[in-house]
Amino acid sequence: MNDNQEKELLTFPCEFPIKVMGLKQDTFAETIGQVIKEFDPTFNPETITVRDSRQGHYQALQVVVHATSREQLDSIYMALTHHPMVKVVL
């Protein structure tokens, strides 16, 4: 398949959910919200959904970003996966 035949699976702009997991820390959600805001100025950190692991050692965050391009999403994923507080990004 060449470049002309490839179809983008997402239509931009769109609302795109991302799950971020890391060790439970008081500032985890706030810090991740700041990272997201660097790439999506419209992001509201109050919309972050937080879920603790069964034993309470980890937290899973769900954030929904206003994605404007594949490049923006790639940048968000790169920033999150390289952040020291983050273990997994889905």
Please determine, for residue 5, whether its predicted confidence score (pLDDT) is greater than 80: no
55: in domain: yes
Distance between CA atoms of residues 18 and 62, nearest Å: 6
Average pLDDT over residues 86-90: 98
Per-residue pLDDT at 4 exceeds 80: no
Position 71 in a domain: yes
CA angle, corner 10, sides to 79 and 60, nearest 5?
45
Q: Burial-class residue 56 by CB neighbours within 10 Å (0-12, 13-18, 19+).
A: exposed
Domain membership of residue 30 as a residue range? 25-89
- Does 81 reside within a domain? yes
- The answer as to whether 18 is a domain residue is no
The model's pTM: 0.88
36 domain residue, yes or no? yes
- pLDDT of 1 > 50? The answer is no
pLDDT, tens digit, 9 for 90 and up, residues 26-38 = 999 999 999 999 9
In a domain, 31, yes or no: yes
Q: 60 is written with which tokens? A: 């899973």
- Measured in whole angstroms, how far is the alpha carbon of residue 71 from the centre of its chain? 14
Q: Is residue 5 part of a domain?
A: no
Q: How many domains does the chain have?
A: 1
Please say whether the beta carbons of 32 and 88 come within 8 A: no
